[in-house]
Amino acid sequence: MYRHPAIHEVCVIGVTDAKRGETVKALVVPAAAHAETITTQAIIDWAHEQMAAYKAPRIVEFVTSLPKSGSGKILWRKLQEEEAARRAAAGGGTRGSGDSGGEGSGGRD
């Protein structure tokens, strides 16, 4: 996803989905030049053209920054836990606390 010109940083996490059990969500820090013009649908459409269907995000959320460790790695587990807590508070169910790991979890696709 880092190949998209409007993406400065991105973290991909798994989130609970009523139909599929789990689905893919991308938390995107937009590039400054595209911050006002990029849309969630444009990111989703681009991902479907460039990636395998199971890797492409179905949900995109724009954020101003991503949490990082002291060495600069994106803390994807923290983001996944925060999302699970948000969904639980909203009555959307919860994910187990197990490590989903897997390809693309916070990595560069």
pLDDT at 92: 61
Q: Which two tokens stand for residue 107?
A: 């990595």
Instruction: Give yes or no for a contact between 11 and 79, defined as CB atoms under 8 angstroms apart.
Output: yes
Q: How far apart are CA 13 and CA 86, in angstroms?
A: 14
CATH for 7-89 is 3.30.300.30
State the pLDDT at residue 99. Answer: 42
How far apart (Å, rounded) are the C-alpha atoms in residues 76 and 73? 9
Convert 87-96 to b/e letters by CB count within 10 Å (16 or more is b).
eeeeeeeebe
Consecutive 10-residue averages of pLDDT for the chain (109 residues)? 95 91 95 93 97 94 96 96 91 50 43
